[in-house]
Amino acid sequence: MTEPLFRADAYLREAEGRVVSASDDGIVLDRSIFYPTGGGQPGDGGVLEWDGGSTPITTASKAEGDAILLIPDTGATLPPVGATVLQSLDWQRRYAHMRVHTALHLLSVVIPLPVSGGSIGTEKGRLDFDMPDAPEDKQALQDSLNALIAADHEVTEDWISEAELDANPDLVKTMSVQPPRGSGRVRLIRIDGTAEQVDLQPCGGTHVRRTAEIGPVRLGKVEKKGRRNRRVTVHLEG
């Protein structure tokens, strides 16, 4: 098992870790600041450094037993098992994912329809909605989304039991990706306004602390993806 340091602090850019295993297939540490691919969010990249060597990390993925597998660059030198390494994130890439991911949470607020899929990148992200008809006024949706962002709402986390989630199934907006289970509790991401809650949904990804960090966004074209599904893309503008 790898302790997911990114879950407690998504802004942690460096941390030490001990090498549990290392091969060309991947490196497992006892604790990780690298987010593993999942929930539509790509895995993090960066570098591992230790006394006498370093290796670039191209991405991270989930492995057995809640381990996080760090994928080294092809042909890179591997750290010795048991060594203490310094993990350093490609912060620009991670922070872009955090901004886009949080923007997609807000997109699900301005378009309150079931979500059938999604994807996060460094410059844009998209959600697929159960939306038989195209929106009548895309500009109004974009204006509403940018207003929520500019309001600088706080983004926090809560935890509930799996039984509580089962009793409140409407918390789950994404039909294609279910919250991770097995630990007995589920992480919720809450976006709070000054007077009322803006959004609350299960999510294991990384997010900014306040919505203003997202910056202005632009809605791309709304693409039809099947009889009922439409894809809405959000582009970061700065």
Q: What tens digit of pLDDT does each residue of 83-124 get?
A: 999 999 999 999 999 999 999 999 999 999 999 899 999 999
The contacts of residue 206 (CB under 8 Å, 6+ apart) are 6, 10, 35, 41, 94, 97, 98, 101
Supply the pLDDT for residue 183: 64
Supply the pLDDT for residue 65: 86
Supply the pLDDT for residue 136: 87
Residue 76: strand, helix, or coil? coil
Contact 222, 230 (CB under 8 A): yes
Contact 35, 6 (CB under 8 A): yes
163 vs 78, 167, 168, 172, 173, CA distance in Å?
43, 6, 9, 14, 17
Supply the pLDDT for residue 237: 96
Supply the pLDDT for residue 180: 61
The segments of the chain whose pLDDT lies below 50 read none
Supply the pLDDT for residue 179: 60
Supply the pLDDT for residue 45: 98
> How far, in Å, CA of 232 to CA of 128, rounded?
6
Supply the pLDDT for residue 2: 96
pTM of the predicted model as reported, rounded to 2 decimal places: 0.92
Supply the pLDDT for residue 182: 57
Supply the pLDDT for residue 122: 97
Q: Count CA atoms closer than 13 A to 146's CA, side-chain side.
A: 15
Supply the pLDDT for residue 184: 72
